[in-house]
């Protein structure tokens, strides 16, 4: 078998495997009366075909799942952009924020809470500060 894709007139390999009668057997006689052995090649062909179909189905499901993830990623990217824009439009001021004890500051000092919020917005948009 080669890696090339089957053309329209070729029977897919999996169908060729399935076309082998399930009860086909190969008998091998060993030299000088050392006996013989049979191989259930029809059974093997059908097992191989079933495995190929299962793998093909798994691949299709994986591609469908990847497409869904890509749609989710795009949707979340758009939502994120809108949320960042909404944050930018807000007037974030010190007097409207909760200040933990560690964040308390004087009037003449830049508000550490506002600075952290602005840094987070800039980080979300990939801007440098
Ligand atoms: Zn403050």
Spatial distance between the Cα atoms of 107 and 37, rounded to a whole number of angstroms = 94
CA–centroid distance, residue 83 to ligand 1 (Å): 23
CA–centroid distance, residue 82 to ligand 1 (Å): 26
Q: Which pLDDT tens digit goes with each residue over 62-117? A: 999 999 999 999 999 999 889 988 988 888 899 888 889 999 999 999 999 999 99
Structural contact between residues 122 and 128, judged by C-beta atoms closer than 8 angstroms: yes
Structural contact between residues 41 and 20, judged by C-beta atoms closer than 8 angstroms: yes
What is the DSSP secondary structure assignment for residue 29, as one 8-state letter?
Answer: E
CA–centroid distance, residue 111 to ligand 1 (Å): 4
Spatial distance between the Cα atoms of 88 and 45, rounded to a whole number of angstroms = 64
CA–centroid distance, residue 97 to ligand 1 (Å): 7
Mean of the per-residue pLDDT values for the chain? Answer: 89
């Amino acid at each position: 078998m080669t890696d090339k894709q089957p053309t329209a007139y070729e029977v897919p390999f999996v169908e060729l495997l399935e076309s082998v009668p399930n009860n086909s057997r190969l008998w091998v006689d060993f030299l000088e009366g050392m006996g013989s052995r049979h191989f259930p090649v029809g059974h093997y062909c059908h097992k191989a075909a079933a495995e190929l179909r299962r793998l093909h189905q798994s691949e299709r499901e994986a591609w469908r799942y990847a497409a869904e993830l890509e749609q989710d990623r795009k949707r979340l990217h758009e939502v994120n952009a809108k949320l960042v824009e909404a944050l930018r439009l807000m007037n974030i001021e010190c007097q409207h924020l909760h200040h933990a004890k560690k964040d308390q500051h004087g009037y003449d000092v830049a508000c550490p809470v506002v600075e952290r919020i602005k840094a987070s917005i800039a980080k979300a948009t990939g801007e440098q500060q």
